[in-house]
Amino acid sequence: MLTKRIIPCLDIKDGRTVKGINFLDLRDAGDPVELAEAYANEGADELVFLDISATEERRKTLANLVKRVAEKVNIPFTVGGGISSVEDVDILLHNGADKVSINSSAVKNPDLINELVAKFGSQCIVVAIDAKRIDGMWKVHLVGGKVPTDLELFQWAKEVEERGAGEILFTSMDHDGTKNGFANETLARLSTELNIPIIASGGAGNMEHFIDTFNEGKADAALAASVFHFKEMEIRDLKKKLQDHGIPVRL
């Protein structure tokens, strides 16, 4: 059985790590380079670095910061935010990223997924999907959750897989920062209907939530931010707890 992955997420704004609730009310969580190095040393399986204001401000992800983070870590490192071309991805990979995450640009130009997969390979391309329940349907949102679309989550996720993406990072905006647990019913449906790995995001508050998302949500990986940033749990302790519950992890 494949091991389940624990992935700290560093949301970056103005060069600092930030964290909010339901994508709002951001507060400072520290220096991204220091945090990345600490997580790599604590046993994180991967890191995700999202420049959350890059798309909104129509500027490119901070390649220099990516380089500084990559110099400090020895685990796979995914970078997202403002990526809209083959050239953008090329720059990030040359600065040390192992994968890239695209979101708004993929919705606006779905062919971009095909282009990036053809150039860099499926294993390199993660499509992030931020969605919120509206009138009983999961609707995809863009630009850091600020712009709703008519796209339905499961329909879009299937198209993303068909276009060759290697993974989907699904964030439930309803659960984000609430610490009430992941959207496990929705994650389980995604995992059942798709053949590519699903990364769970949004809602981690305690170790049981991680156990639940791997067992009930059938997630391949679980991403969290504030519980790690503010030292509410240590990654090594979390992994030991997961192992005690029969969930395969890399210790």
Q: Angle formed by the axes of helices 153-162 and 184-193, to 10°? A: 40
Tokens 């969580």 appear where?
Answer: 29
The residues annotated as belonging to the active site are 11, 130
CA–CA separation, 219 and 18 (whole Å): 25
Angle (CA) 176-29-68 rounded to 5° is: 110
Helix (H, G, I), strand (E, B) or coil at 207: helix
Secondary structure element (H or E) that encloses residue 28, with its range: strand 24-30
Q: Give one word for 223, left, alpha or beta, with left for phi > 0 and alpha for psi -120 to 50.
A: beta
